[in-house]
Amino acid sequence: MTYIITSLCLRDGGCVDVCPVECIVPGNPQDKWPWYYIDPDTCIDCGACIPECPYEAIFTEDEVPDAFEAMGDEVQSMPAGTAGFDTPWEGENHHGQTVKLASTKVLEAGEAVDLTADTKPNYDFFEDGPGYWDGWEEAVSG
């Protein structure tokens, strides 16, 4: 098993520092890889990242919900061009740096969202995508 970062990730970066095996990497380029991603082959299932996420975007692989029930005002982020994700979002990461996301959607209270499709990008990012790209550690060090 591994842990999975889902589309509720807003690139806050707060989970990176607590990972004892440094397997959480920010997506790059951001328009194609908008979340942070967990390397499934390196994650040791310690669970330290889950309480650090202010947006509750991280789940164990077998608990990624197929019907996540929104409380309302959660923001879901997708690669640029994803249909229905037309709202820009701006906030701060845990270093106080501005984060801008172009392709997001604000969830309504009671809306049920299937997050299971978010599992595969965590694998793809490391198998076919940039993985541990040059400069990722500097990018998250603030």
The residues that touch ligand SF4, with contacts defined as CB under 6 A, are 3, 5, 9-15, 18-19, 21, 23-24, 36, 38, 43-49, 52-53, 55, 57-58
In the complex, the smallest distance separating the C-beta of residue 66 from ligand SF4, rounded to whole angstroms, is 19
Q: Which one, 46 or 111, has the nearer CB to ligand SF4?
A: 46
User: CB-based contacts of 2: which residues, under 8 Å, 6+ apart?
Assistant: 38, 40, 43, 45, 60, 61, 122
In the complex, the smallest distance separating the C-beta of residue 74 from ligand SF4, rounded to whole angstroms, is 11
C-alpha–C-alpha distance, residues 76 and 45, integer Å: 24
Under 8 Å between Cβ of 55 and 93: no
Q: Which one, 36 or 85, has the nearer CB to ligand SF4?
A: 36
Q: Which one, 13 or 121, has the nearer CB to ligand SF4?
A: 13
Label residue 65 exposed, middle or buried (CB < 10 Å: 0-12, 13-18, 19+). middle
C-alpha–C-alpha distance, residues 58 and 38, integer Å: 10
Q: Which one, 23 or 115, has the nearer CB to ligand SF4?
A: 23
In the complex, the smallest distance separating the C-beta of residue 64 from ligand SF4, rounded to whole angstroms, is 13
Phi/psi of residue 6, nearest 5 degrees:
-105, 180
In the complex, the smallest distance separating the C-beta of residue 103 from ligand SF4, rounded to whole angstroms, is 15
